[in-house]
Amino acid sequence: MIPVQGVENQTIAVLGLGRSGKATAAALAAGGANVIAWDDGQDTREQAEADGLTIVDLTRDDAWQGVTALIASPGIPHLYPKPHPVIAKAYELSIPVDNDIGLFFRSYATTDWDGFDRVPRVIAVTGSNGKSTTTALIHHILKECGRPTQMGGNIGTGVLSLEPAIDGEFVVLELSSYQTDLARALTPDIAVFTNLTPDHMDRHAGLGGYFAAKRRLFAEGGPDRAVVGVDENEGLYLADQLSMGPADDRVIRISSGKKLDRAAWSVFARKGFLAEYRKGRQAGSIDLRQITGLPGAHNHQNACAAYAACRAVGIAPREIEAAFASFSGLPHRSQTIAEIDGVRYVNDSKATNVDSAAKALQAFDKIHWIAGGLGKEGGITALTPYLERVTKAYLIGHSARDFALEVGQTPHEVVDTMEAAVARAHAQAKPGDTVLLAPAAASFDQYPNFEKRGEHFTALVEALKP
């Protein structure tokens, strides 16, 4: 746990008592604060009270006597579509509102660091797509290269549940727009922006608000180095805003598909090869095509971002390449489960919408595609350009018959269940083929979440092994 600094003997209110809220309350208490808490859910409140938290109804005016700050959980709206009533009350009373990310950045450095040989550093990753894989990949590279490291934020451990820093440690954080938008302190040493596509439009009142939330990670704290994906206009703008000119190597531009050789420092991937350029000359290259944990152009962009971040902290290209080779990918995200009789089995259960399924389909050839579940508005007609890669589709779940009408001339079967889909794909796939679970649909018709769906697929594949 990282005790929060500067809160001793203060009364701090915590709104939202999920994982991050409970961890925040504990870290505040460890820092000497008097913590009061509230959650809209009665069951959650009762459990928190049983765990020893002081529950106070923050919707009441008299609850705010002596409160010096409100710490809100990330999922609670603070501006759009409208502020949560408790946050609105804090605004009315001029009480500062923050979140656990802000508390982390103001509390991570301590006087213990005076005795360290190497100052700990924070690498923070944001963006629309790929930030979880990029975060995990950076953490993996650092660990494989013998650097002490922890990973947290929007992936794995909550930031205030991380351990206090040790000499020379790197903390790698995935930060969502919900987290960066409200944090009052954002001071990473290295900040990474992967890309931007429309998401969370209601929460941020449109694409501009969404980008502004991401941009805060770079604008508020002024990282020593910024890694910026420039495949969209927003990334080009951000890189330009942060750079003092073509010779400024504090910004490392990255791309999947574009050659970048004019900037002071860039990393890009084309046709399966990663290249690093510094001052117009190639400084490193990696063949990504045979790295099973990073399939497809979207993962090649993640590889560029992770490579750039690790180069920025002094990791050598050959060390990064060796770590790439041992990266197995995140569960349920283009995760290779097994190769059986020359057939590759890939779990991308996280592909719950058309955009993510399209990326998965572009990553492989000769695909036996398992798709379906609880379909979303618009169906899967947008996947038509990628169906030429599909040898056969096996359709499951609630929307199987709707999907069958939308795959056109692509060979397909309506098999309804995961068991039947895996069995049929296994029987028909040939050496060199890929059996890919990329549902393009939610899981809630047959599974409680996409993780359970992916775990079921994985178990069925494991059972096929000789």
Residue given tokens 């971002």 in the structure block: 305
What is the C-alpha separation between 363 and 167, in angstroms, rounded? 40
Token pair belonging to 43: 């069951």
Q: Which residues of 22-58 are buried (b: 16+ CB within 10 A; e: fewer)?
A: bbbbbbbbebebbbbbbbeeeebbeebeeeebeebeb
Question: 118 near 109, Cβ under 8 Å?
Answer: no
Give SS3 for 66: coil
Q: Is 356 annotated as belonging to a binding site?
A: no
Q: Strands 343-347 and 335-340: what pairing?
A: antiparallel
Q: Is 131 annotated as belonging to a binding site?
A: yes
Residue given tokens 């309350």 in the structure block: 25
Question: 94 near 149, Cβ under 8 Å?
Answer: no
The length of the chain is 466
Token pair belonging to 75: 């999922």
DSSP H or E segment with residue 337: strand 335-340
Q: Is 75 annotated as belonging to a binding site?
A: no
Q: Is 127 annotated as belonging to a binding site?
A: yes
Long-range contacts of 405-409 (CB under 8 A, 24+ apart): 406/379, 406/380, 406/381, 407/380, 408/384
Q: Is 379 annotated as belonging to a binding site?
A: no
Task: For residue 257, give the nearest of 300, 291, 290 by alpha carbon.
Answer: 300
What is the C-alpha separation between 266 and 271, in angstroms, rounded? 17
Q: Strands 273-278 and 265-270: what pairing?
A: antiparallel
Backbone angles phi, psi at 28, to 5 degrees: -65, -45
Sequence-ordered alpha helix ranges (H) in 333-433: 354-362, 400-406, 418-428
Indicate the annotated binding residues for ATP.
127-133
Indicate the annotated binding residues.
127-133
